[in-house]
Chain A
Amino acid sequence: ELKVEQNPLFLSMQEGKNYTIYCNYSTTSDRLYWYRQDPGKSLESLFVLLSNGAVKQEGRLMASLDTKARLSTLHITAAVHDLSATYFCAVDMIEGYQKVTFGTGTKLQVIP
């Protein structure tokens, strides 16, 4: 059974600071996704990482994937209040069909 663990589960940080969210998973996979969810809202896709060493950046967020370590990171640079949300990583367990397992999420609160 694929397990996906995120840490921290909750993160409170000041504006302007940098921080990293970690996503570990338990089995071989080379497809990893990051999503954002605002309170009471649906999920929005942020990044799709498809190979070892993949790095993608959008604004103040940068995601990377190390398939050998079974680890993805989401790095936040100079956080702003608008980044406050819950961030989920999700891993695709490739068994013929695409079946994605989500982590429990990291709730990020950016304090002005």
Chain B
Amino acid sequence: NAGVTQTPKFRILKIGQSMTLQCTQDMNHNYMYWYRQDPGMGLKLIYYSVGAGITDKGEVPNGYNVSRSTTEDFPLRLELAAPSQTSVYFCASSYGEGDTEAFFGQGTRLTVV
């Protein structure tokens, strides 16, 4: 079972470059999330989606964009990368109704230099 798949696993970007982090899930979950985890810290919610075509900002959305054209895919776009975006990014999904925990991808370690 694939679960939540993120690509790439590692990436180095130069300041001002752009990139898209890919996330796909095969569990038919309605809810999908993007978190970032800075060293020694918990996870902060960047954006989330409750279904195809519906997205909303989380706690730290500045500098990011998302789209949700299908149930399976939830890409995260970084425009004009900045050193402050150096972090580990996790995509997660959940069924979304009531008592369901989230399932996480393996993470993308991004360094902006």
| Chain A contacts to B: CB under 8 angstroms | 4, 31, 33, 35, 41-45, 48, 50, 88, 90, 97-105
| Chain B contacts to A: CB under 8 angstroms | 31, 33, 35, 40-45, 48, 50, 56, 58-59, 90, 92, 94, 96, 98-107
B48 contacts across to A, CB distance below 8 A: 97, 99
Residue of A41, A45, A103 near B42 (CB, 8 A) is A103
Question: Measured between alpha carbons, how far is A98 from B107 in the docked complex, in Å?
Answer: 21
- Also in contact, A98 and B31, with CB within 8 A (given A42-B106, A48-B99): yes
Residue of B40, B43, B96, B106 near A88 (CB, 8 A) is B43
Report the minimum CB–CB distance from B39 to chain A (whole Å).
11
- Also in contact, A105 and B45, with CB within 8 A (given A45-B103, A50-B99, A98-B94): no
A90 contacts across to B, CB distance below 8 A: 43
Chosen A-B contacts, 19 in total, with CB atoms closer than 8 Å, are A31-B98, A35-B101, A41-B107, A42-B107, A43-B92, A43-B102, A43-B104, A45-B101, A48-B101, A97-B48, A97-B56, A99-B48, A100-B33, A100-B45, A100-B102, A101-B45, A102-B43, A102-B44, A104-B42
